Structure 1
């Protein structure tokens, strides 16, 4: 065992748990100096397993995470996920009450933090979000409940966007039920703002959560209903309005594609509905021209094509998905946020796999990892694809795939 590498991992997870060296020492029955030595890899060239077991128990992680290379692969951490869930379910957070005289959070500062959270999401920085969301949920909830007038409306928008961000990160974490809880709460908060763009944003996130939770028919119906209700106002709301309206159609298209895979009487009708929603979104993108990231939609003709690719993957149309992905102009792809670029490459890997092109699938995954490592190493959906490819012949790509599986923390 490499004592210095293990020490760095202990320090990494101690920081993730917001513990001081003295805190960890108390939990392990050791002194602060003992924790310092452990993190520096000193005293013991080969740390005793019993000591590492104590450290893993105190840090609430599997022992393997201290022994294996690379802490980043465990970025989507179950403990932080449960902290987000507990925060959402806390009565004081739901009501915005704290039972004390703590100051009301400053609305402009909260709005800046929400914007930073969304920027981090689009940059693929999942770790920082997992740590920041509980506090942000708590403070935006309290601000929305305790401010008045214009400050209250701004705080409610910040709350709605925080809950949308929670839904988005819960999907990255692979927690469908948490995503839907956050999505429902976001819609309720958005309705209180009276802001049509915020309302549409929350509606499209709820549709996304419902589809991910295995209810694509309901998700498609929700996206269609929101688009029908809000379209007149959104079309008058400039780039932000057209972007969110376009995203509602993209979410409807994706949900319909997912519904088409189900063994139901309406599956064929769902498949037929997909192109119409994609074409409607394409019309809105053409009206906007270029790329806009209004309300963090990354809405553009390129993003519409990305959803065409995702729909082909859902419909198991691998060759068509590969064609769409490879036809996207390089400049348009580069104009997308990092998260979207990585997402395209992961979906391209799925399409290659469906088309029987496993070596190309591995190459696409490696490109996605270079674009946004956490999107590949941490997201359950992508890790599952890596694991499935590992069970199949991949020819010359086998060695590269094996190394990727190690970085993803998958059993060898």
Structure 2
């Protein structure tokens, strides 16, 4: 087992035990920085057996369970989602007005490491652990933005905006679009305080995503397009980071108008006609970037544009077209994407296969997604709806596999 995998195991069980990093550091006889590096996979190439045994002892599990290849999938608990809501509703988090009794925030670089770790976990498909990580990040980032001055304060506002983006993204996975909308609005406000156009564009694409998922798709499209037009010149001067977030704004615009088409009973075609142009615009920025990347956790590049082509086809109920685009994505490019992106694509492809009447294939595609990122299938309401619809429609020879999947998703028989 390499250090990254072991670090993930430790973080999973520490979080499950409701143990802070500082408490675990004390139990291990190590520093907080040591635990951060351990969980981030930066201690050594292969963890020492003595360290693994002591970690298992302190976490109250057997060594075999700590290093097992498969971790039991647990969805985020409602109490943890409530904890995130409470953090968003705290007076100091809303106003930024920390009183003199507030604890001094961590240095911005320590805050950046914590955020990077949480964001990396999200892209690995580990959404449940964010329920306990986000409240602390929100409070620490808010205090940092209030406490620091000069360049450190601007950096703190960047990190606060990025933390609120993560909150928005997690809330979408949990199916809480109202929370996503609140976090998205706050991310945009914090980004403006950072004075960084790349952060502003990044926050705008997250708010656009939240608005679309909350049933405000037409407004979302206009918002992200206004952001793209306002920030375009500065983003083009910002190099790869700028190309990435600018391209993502057009991808979010494409998804928004596709959703608007689905919601408009009077003239859906008017919205649908705009989709290809926005996707082509994003493709131009992907070409400028030259390759797939993951700047600011965008996963932006030619392959992610293809993922959005699949997603918009599915949104427009064009299942056969979605399946055709997904089939054309090169295997190597697919494998180089973060697990969350790969599982998301497979979930979209499965929905496209269901729309195209290929229900047995849809089940197998969902099983492949589950193998990559179990929480994307077993815990996400959107994907569970696909599983339930497949069960109602029937899946032919895949019925047995579908029943087992539905059981793992916790769906009633």
Task: Place the TM-score, normalised by the shorter chain, in its bin.
Answer: 0.7 to 0.9
TM-score computed with the length of structure 1 as normaliser = 0.83
Number of the residue aligned with 1:80? 80
The separation in 1 between residues aligned to 2:264 and 2:151, in whole angstroms, is 49
Give the secondary-structure state (helix, strand or coil) at the position aligned to 2:352: helix
Number of the residue aligned with 2:236? 235
**1:332 paired to 2:357:** no
Cα offset, 1:201, TM superposition: 0.2
Q: Trace 1:24-43 onto structure 2 (pairs within 5 A).
A: none
**1:150 paired to 2:143:** no
Cα offset, 1:198, TM superposition: 0.2
Give the secondary-structure state (helix, strand or coil) at the position aligned to 1:127: coil
Whether the aligned pair in 2 keeps the contact of 1:352 and 1:358 (CA below 8 Å) is yes
Number of the residue aligned with 1:90? 90
- Equivalent pairs counted in the alignment come to 354
Q: Trace 1:351-390 onto structure 2 (pairs within 5 A).
A: 351-390=352-391
Cα offset, 1:166, TM superposition: 0.3
The separation in 2 between residues aligned to 1:305 and 1:103, in whole angstroms, is 45
Number of the residue aligned with 1:111? 112
Whether the aligned pair in 1 keeps the contact of 2:379 and 2:409 (CA below 8 Å) is yes
Cα offset, 1:73, TM superposition: 4.8
Cα offset, 1:18, TM superposition: 2.6
The separation in 2 between residues aligned to 1:236 and 1:203, in whole angstroms, is 18
Number of the residue aligned with 1:248? 249
Give the secondary-structure state (helix, strand or coil) at the position aligned to 1:353: helix
Give the secondary-structure state (helix, strand or coil) at the position aligned to 1:76: coil
Given the superposition, is the C-alpha separation of residues 119 and 372 from structure 1 closer, same or farther in structure 2, using an over 3 Å criterion?
same
Whether the aligned pair in 1 keeps the contact of 2:326 and 2:349 (CA below 8 Å) is yes
**1:140 paired to 2:141:** yes
Number of the residue aligned with 1:263? 264
The separation in 2 between residues aligned to 1:407 and 1:262, in whole angstroms, is 32
The separation in 2 between residues aligned to 1:121 and 1:133, in whole angstroms, is 11
The separation in 2 between residues aligned to 1:371 and 1:71, in whole angstroms, is 13
The separation in 2 between residues aligned to 1:110 and 1:261, in whole angstroms, is 41
Whether the aligned pair in 2 keeps the contact of 1:95 and 1:145 (CA below 8 Å) is no
The separation in 2 between residues aligned to 1:15 and 1:323, in whole angstroms, is 41
Structure 2, gaps ≥5 residues long: 1-11, 21-59, 62-69
**1:166 paired to 2:160:** no
Number of the residue aligned with 2:46? none
Determine which structure has greater relative contact order: mean sequence separation of CA pairs < 8 Å that are 6+ residues apart, divided by chain length: 1
Q: How big is each residue's C-alpha offset from its partner over 1:298-318, in whole Å with a ceiling of 9 and x where there is no partner?
A: 001110000000000000001
Cα offset, 1:267, TM superposition: 2.4
| Greater C-alpha radius of gyration | 1
Structure 1, gaps ≥5 residues long: 1-11, 21-38, 41-69
The runs of 4+ residues in structure 1 deviating greater than 4 Å are: 12-15, 70-74
The separation in 2 between residues aligned to 1:15 and 1:109, in whole angstroms, is 19
The separation in 2 between residues aligned to 1:279 and 1:13, in whole angstroms, is 44
Q: How big is each residue's C-alpha offset from its partner over 1:104-132, in whole Å with a ceiling of 9 and x where there is no partner?
A: 32111001111111111111111221110
Number of the residue aligned with 2:101? 100
Q: Trace 1:48-87 onto structure 2 (pairs within 5 A).
A: 72-87=72-87
The separation in 2 between residues aligned to 1:143 and 1:162, in whole angstroms, is 12
The separation in 2 between residues aligned to 1:407 and 1:217, in whole angstroms, is 36
Number of the residue aligned with 1:45? none
Number of the residue aligned with 1:296? 297
**1:122 paired to 2:123:** yes
Whether the aligned pair in 1 keeps the contact of 2:177 and 2:213 (CA below 8 Å) is yes
The separation in 2 between residues aligned to 1:295 and 1:395, in whole angstroms, is 43
Give the secondary-structure state (helix, strand or coil) at the position aligned to 2:348: helix
The separation in 2 between residues aligned to 1:105 and 1:302, in whole angstroms, is 37
Number of the residue aligned with 1:49? none
The separation in 2 between residues aligned to 1:71 and 1:98, in whole angstroms, is 42
The separation in 2 between residues aligned to 1:102 and 1:367, in whole angstroms, is 45
Query: Which piece of structure 1 moves more, 216-225 or 86-95?
Result: 86-95
Query: Which piece of structure 1 moves more, 72-81 or 335-344?
Result: 72-81
Q: How big is each residue's C-alpha offset from its partner over 1:146-180, in whole Å with a ceiling of 9 and x where there is no partner?
A: 11111111111110000000000000000000000
TM-score computed with the length of structure 2 as normaliser = 0.82
Whether the aligned pair in 2 keeps the contact of 1:76 and 1:379 (CA below 8 Å) is no
The separation in 2 between residues aligned to 1:120 and 1:19, in whole angstroms, is 18
